[in-house]
């Protein structure tokens, strides 16, 4: 009976949703730093993850580190539910006599990554605009008091112009962005960068899920039994960090393509190939690994928490209480 509960779709959806909410809440500030670091082209506003977080807190407050979190928390439930549930369903369908070969594990991961893109693309499209707004604001020059004043007599030479207080950073809202994109570009506007998202998420899932399954099975004779929480957590962290770093170049391309507002002198791109060429020509191969450490620090605990919560069977417990 326990195995039937684990394989039920409603339980998988609940587990995936709860796991996503917990994980995103814990690691979102690092994800914000990743987005801002990846979008830097010319002007280096931030020197690294810690510098980015410190400057964000200083200029935007503590909750500035959670810009765009509402979008993630709203859509991560269906996204993670689809991803984790789809992988399990594909694994069940491809298994024969309880055994799943490596090609089946890779194929199941591919299917899971493909299914999640329908939610991931608009979620990341909105999230990136909200996360990057502070970086764009930080690049705008602060006018002096003399420049900001209305036309009038020239200021006294004895009193040099002082810096005016910087204007508060532009804070777009998810609702406003959604309405604007739908009004100006239609539904395709929310799915800008869908090809790049697919190009990132499918390889990620093809690496992550087989690696997680094998790490989660280490040292266990009975593979049908549920793994201990700590093993699922560590397996999720390890597999997540490996897969995250492996696809970071694709994540950089996706982030650049989905960013609508650019800073002074920053490139805009026509597509995946054009983006790849321009980054390589202007910034060199190293630019494709921007934010790799941040991405590993985001994905490792995110998937560790996700798999741990998923294997705790929260969905099964909730469904049991409802029966």
- Residues 165-188 have a mean pLDDT of 79
What's the pLDDT at 190? 92
Backbone angles phi, psi at 239, to 5 degrees: -65, -40
User: All domains of the chain, ordered by start, with CATH?
Assistant: 2-139+170-322 (1.50.40.10)
Backbone angles phi, psi at 96, to 5 degrees: -130, 120
What's the pLDDT at 2? 35
Q: Which residues contact 78 (CB under 8 A, 6 or more apart)?
A: 17, 119
DSSP letter assigned to residue 62: G
Lowest mean pLDDT: which of 72-86, 98-112, 231-245, 303-317? 303-317
Alpha helix positions (H), 40-163: 49-60, 69-94, 102-139, 145-148
Residues 236-277 have pLDDT tens digits of 899 999 999 999 999 999 999 999 988 878 888 999 999 999
Residues 309-321 have pLDDT tens digits of 777 777 777 777 6
Average pLDDT of the chain to the nearest whole number:
83
What's the pLDDT at 169? 54
Q: Can you give the pTM of this predicted structure?
A: 0.80
Residues 108-145 have pLDDT tens digits of 999 999 998 999 999 999 999 999 988 888 776 655 54
Decide if pLDDT at 4 tops 50.
Answer: no
């Amino acid at each position: 009976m326990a195995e039937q509960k684990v394989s039920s779709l409603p339980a998988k959806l609940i587990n995936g949703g709860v796991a996503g909410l917990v994980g995103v809440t814990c690691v979102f500030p690092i994800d914000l730093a990743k987005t801002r670091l990846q979008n830097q082209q010319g002007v280096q506003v931030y020197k690294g993850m810690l510098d980015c977080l410190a400057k964000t807190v200083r200029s935007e407050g503590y909750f500035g580190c959670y810009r765009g979190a509402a979008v993630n928390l709203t859509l991560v439930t269906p996204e993670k539910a689809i991803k984790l549930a789809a992988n399990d369903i594909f694994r069940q369908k491809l298994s024969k006599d309880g055994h799943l070969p490596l090609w089946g594990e890779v194929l199941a991961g591919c299917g899971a990554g493909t299914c999640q893109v329908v939610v991931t693309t608009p979620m990341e499209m909105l999230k990136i605009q909200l996360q990057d707004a502070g970086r764009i604001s930080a690049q705008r020059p602060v006018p002096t008091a003399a420049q900001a004043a209305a036309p009038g007599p020239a200021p006294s030479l004895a009193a040099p112009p002082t810096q005016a207080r910087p204007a508060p950073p532009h804070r777009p809202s998810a609702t406003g962005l959604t309405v604007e994109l739908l009004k100006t570009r239609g539904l395709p506007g929310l799915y800008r960068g869908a090809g790049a998202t697919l190009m990132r998420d499918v390889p990620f899932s093809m690496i992550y899920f087989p690696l997680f399954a094998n790490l989660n099975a280490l040292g266990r004779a009975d593979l049908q039994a549920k793994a201990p929480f700590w093993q699922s957590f560590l397996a999720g962290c390890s597999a997540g960090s490996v897969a995250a770093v492996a696809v970071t170049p694709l994540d950089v391309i996706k982030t650049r393509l989905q960013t609508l507002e650019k800073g002074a002198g920053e490139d805009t791109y026509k597509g995946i190939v054009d983006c790849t060429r321009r980054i390589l020509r202007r910034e060199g191969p190293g630019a494709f690994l921007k934010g790799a450490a941040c991405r590993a620090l985001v994905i490792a605990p995110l998937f560790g928490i996700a798999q741990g919560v998923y294997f705790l069977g929260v969905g099964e417990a909730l469904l049991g209480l409802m029966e």
